[in-house]
């Protein structure tokens, strides 16, 4: 008796944002380009990253920089053509794409919309941001550490990416879903530890996540595939995706106008190591 063909597994691809989707760091970019690096250096020793970014937006506001100036600044930053292509192709192949980042909704949505890939993502988990009545950009923590501390010692108090991955895993269900996690920073280590056998982690070579993974490979159940350029990220991601999806789910005519039009569900996130602002 012929059995029903096995359904193609669902592939969930989770991207970190700073230094993963974009080659640089969005906080760093805005602060430097809009001329607030001096205030950043002065305040950094006294403040945690997330509240510091909110404070930096106040600094910019006080210096007459508008939310639109910040948007323009974000739009002026490059996004590697291979990354754009990797995102669009993975979406076309039927992958469910998500961002988990310690940046903020304003920065991420501005950059991804500008490059026409925002609609390729079903969910963005990052720190919430909004422009207040005075026109100042406000950035809040993803996890409210006072009301509900996440209790993870690996992660900064405003965001545990591992907790977010656990939630995504629970939503995806246990059957026939596989994850690919792509990241570079220390904050990407906790979610990498949550991955199961059959999942993949793609650390940026020579960056903190890669170093942490290499320090004790035994701790990870997921298979590790490092990359060190946009081109290599694209090649590796698509190789893994093609390996996971079985023939029935080949490239369909994917309407990329969707990418520009729709907006993914926005939750909040982010995490940074000590991040020197370049001159």
In the chain, alpha helices (H) = 26-33, 37-43, 49-62, 67-75, 81-92, 105-114, 161-172, 189-193, 208-215, 230-244, 257-261
* Min separation Cβ 135 and Zn ion, Å: 34
Q: Which of 12, 16, 161, 163 binds Mg ion (CB under 5 A)?
A: 16
* Min separation Cβ 190 and Zn ion, Å: 3
Round to whole Å and give the CA distance between 168 and 267. Answer: 12
**255 known member of a binding site:** no
> How many CA atoms are closer than 13 Å to the CA of 247, on its beta-carbon side?
1
* Min separation Cβ 112 and Mg ion, Å: 15
Q: Which of 70, 97, 103, 160 binds Zn ion (CB under 5 A)?
A: 160
Q: Would you list the DSSP string of 20-63? A: TTBSS-HHHHHHHHTT-HHHHHHHGGGS-HHHHHHHHHHHHHHT
152 binds, among Mg ion, Zn ion, none (CB under 5 to 8 A by kind): Zn ion
- Beta bridge partners of residue 183, listed in sequence order: 203
CB closer to Mg ion, 69 vs 232: 232
Residue 144 annotated to the active site: no
Q: Could you tell me if 267 and 142 are in contact, meaning their C-beta atoms sit under 8 angstroms apart? A: yes
43 in contact with Zn ion (CB under 5 A): no
154 binds, among Mg ion, Zn ion, none (CB under 5 to 8 A by kind): Zn ion
Residue 18 annotated to the active site: yes
CB closer to Mg ion, 58 vs 193: 193
CB closer to Mg ion, 53 vs 245: 53
Task: Please enumerate, by residue number, every residue annotated as part of a binding site for substrate.
Answer: 27, 102
Name the residues annotated as catalytic.
16, 18
């Amino acid at each position: 008796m012929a059995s029903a063909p096995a359904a193609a597994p669902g592939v969930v691809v989770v991207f970190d944002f700073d230094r993963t989707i974009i080659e640089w760091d969005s906080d760093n970019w805005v602060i430097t380009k809009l001329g607030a690096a001096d205030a950043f250096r002065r305040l950094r020793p006294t403040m945690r990253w997330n509240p510091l970014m909110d404070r930096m937006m106040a600094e910019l506001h006080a210096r007459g920089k508008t939310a639109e100036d910040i948007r323009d600044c974000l739009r002026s930053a490059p996004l590697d053509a291979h990354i754009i292509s990797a995102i669009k192709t993975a979406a076309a192949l039927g992958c469910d794409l998500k961002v988990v980042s310690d940046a903020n909704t304003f920065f991420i949505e501005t950059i991804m919309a500008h490059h026409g890939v925002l609609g390729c993502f079903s969910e963005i988990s990052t720190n919430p941001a909004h422009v207040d009545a005075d026109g100042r950009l406000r950035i809040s923590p993803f996890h409210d550490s006072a009301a509900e501390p996440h209790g993870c010692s690996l992660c900064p108090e405003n965001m545990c990416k591992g907790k977010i991955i656990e939630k995504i895993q629970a939503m995806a269900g246990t059957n026939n879903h596989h994850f690919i996690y792509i990241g570079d920073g220390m904050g990407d280590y906790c979610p990498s530890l949550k991955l199961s056998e059959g999942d993949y982690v793609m650390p940026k070579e020579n960056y903190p996540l890669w170093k942490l993974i290499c320090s004790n490979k035994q701790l990870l159940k997921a298979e590790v595939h490092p990359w060190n350029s946009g081109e290599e990220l694209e090649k590796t991601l698509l190789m893994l995706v093609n390996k996971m999806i079985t023939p029935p789910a080949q490239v369909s005519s994917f309407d990329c106008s969707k990418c520009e039009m729709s907006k993914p569900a926005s939750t909040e996130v982010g995490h940074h190591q000590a991040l020197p602002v370049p001159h």
